[in-house]
Each structure stands twice: as C-alpha cells, then as structure tokens.
A = this chain, B = another copy of it.
C-alpha cells in the first residue's frame, strides 16, 4: 500500500508519521522542537526527522506499513511560507529558509518533498476529512495562532498566499508586545504559549487545569484570552460572514472551558447580526499532520512516471 511521510513542525513538538491516501495515520511519533537552541537546530531536527521517516522499512515497528518507503514527504511549518521557502517564522527566528534545507539528503534524490504552511495545510485536512462547510474559518490555536480562510468551499490564500495571519491582527492595538514585532496581536493574549507565559506555568494545559480548579490568576488570564478571541472573531464575522468557526489545535482540547465563554463573548460583541456557530475541530491536533500528508500526496502525484526505456 502506498503511503506518504509527513512532519508537522509545531512550536514545542514536531509530529511525524505515515499517512494512507484515505487519511489513516499508519504510524505516529512526536519529537521535541528544539526551539530554545536556535533557528538552525530546528531546521536540522526537521531534516533528521524527515530523513528517518523516509528510510526504507520492513515492518519492524508496530503499526508501520509492512515494507517499502513513502512515495512523498510533506513538511508543514508556521509563518509565511511559499512552496520554495519558509519566508518568515517568528516562532523560530527563520527568514528565507529554502525548502531543500528541511529535506536534508533527500533534496537531490528522487523522493518528492513538499513544503507548506501548517495552518493552511491543516485547513485542507479539515476540508478533506473534517466535514467542514463552504464558508468557514478554521482557527488552530497552539503555540501560535493562524487561520485557514475557507470561502465558497475553497481555501483562500490572498494575492500573495499570505492570507490567514489572524494570530497577528491587532485586537488591543498598542497592547502587549508580540514576538512578531507588533503590539496587541491576538496571539499575544490567546496562543497556547501566551496563556502559559502570562500564567507563569509550563503549558496551556496547565492553565486549563488551574482554571478548572478555581485559580483566580489563571481565570483572569483565560478570560483575557477568550476576550481577545471574541474581538478577533467579531472582526472576522463582520468582514467575511462565515457560517461556522472551527477551533483546532492543542488549546481546542480545553473544550467547553473555551467554547462556552467564547460563544457568549462573541455574541456580546455583535449588536446587529447573529454570531456564527463555534465548534471544536473533530480532527484536533492531528489536523496539522494530516495536512502535511496532503502536501505529500500532492507532491507525489505531481511527479511524472519515469520513462521505461
């Protein structure tokens, strides 16, 4: 059975695996993203992960395909991304990293390696496997925040392919400093890394646990995050009139702790029109990996068959 290899490079964790054409995840593993060690070490870690996944296998790992090697590799990264370059990623300090840098020794080989944007790819996965509608904002909230803007049933990329940078819209202009260089960005209040930092704990999961336990400080940080999201989603709703907003990423695992107050605050910020429905993604944090898999399938089918002469 043909399969592809995929790596979704998140802010704290890289998810990698093998994916069948129907979206079945045949193999899954996580590795830490060595973000603290600098831009080059992250590139190297991705390249190593890609190389390891691309080796021919013979079924030694449980859940692996029986044998063979992947027919393509997809790498999904955050920031501003083109098919040839990771143009900018605030999370890693990347500027103009060529796609070949992530492919390592495969770059000159015959295995197609596709680079894409993590959230747009995840949005493609939501469209393909998640049962999304025609006019939907898909908003994964993980270490960072970006949106996949689905309009009339297709992902919209904008004039230059840079649409969906919703994590960096100014919700409280001139407010908290953001890693991107702007102030008051949505991500500075509502990303997983921001809520953890503002609460001085290690992760957004810990913040959610503290909120559930009645911790006052965590409750305030969480309320600020929900309010920032409500402002951003009110703006999106007034601009693009979506039928539905789908929250994904690690923070969506908070479930009703996030969704119930967010629905209430979004409705409160819209005076003359109803709020669209808000739900958590059914794919959860797997959407990014499935999206990287779609990149790989596309790259694999773009490769012309070899002449047999």
Contacts and interface: CB of A to CB of B under 8 A. Distances in A.
A144 to B, nearest CB: 12
A152 B157 CA distance: 10
Contact of A159 (B88, B238, B241): B241
A210 interface: no
A234 interface: yes
Interface in A99-136: 133-135
A241 to B, nearest CB: 3
Total identical chains: 2
Interface in A269-304: 269-273, 276
Interface string A159-171: 1111111101111
Contact of A273 (B157, B165, B243): B165
Contacts of A273: 80, 88, 162, 165
Given A80-B273, A173-B171, A269-B182, A236 B239 contact: yes
A305 interface: no
Interface in A162-200: 162-166, 168-173, 180-182
Most B CB contacts (10 A, CB to CB) among A80, A147, A238, A240 go to A238
A259 interface: no
Contacts of A169: 234-235, 238-239
A231 interface: yes
Most B CB contacts (10 A, CB to CB) among A166, A169, A231 go to A169
A134 to B, nearest CB: 7
Interface string A91-104: 00000000000000
A232 to B, nearest CB: 9
Contact of A158 (B157, B240, B272): B240
Contacts of A180: 271-272
Given A80-B272, A272-B80, A273-B165, A170 B231 contact: yes
A182 B271 contact: yes
A231 B172 CA distance: 10
Contact of A235 (B80, B170, B242): B170
Interface of A: 80, 88, 90, 133-135, 147, 149, 151-152, 156-166, 168-173, 180-182, 231, 234-236, 238-243, 269-273, 276
The 6 closest A-B pairs by CB, nearest first: A158-B241, A181-B271, A159-B243, A135-B159, A165-B238, A163-B241
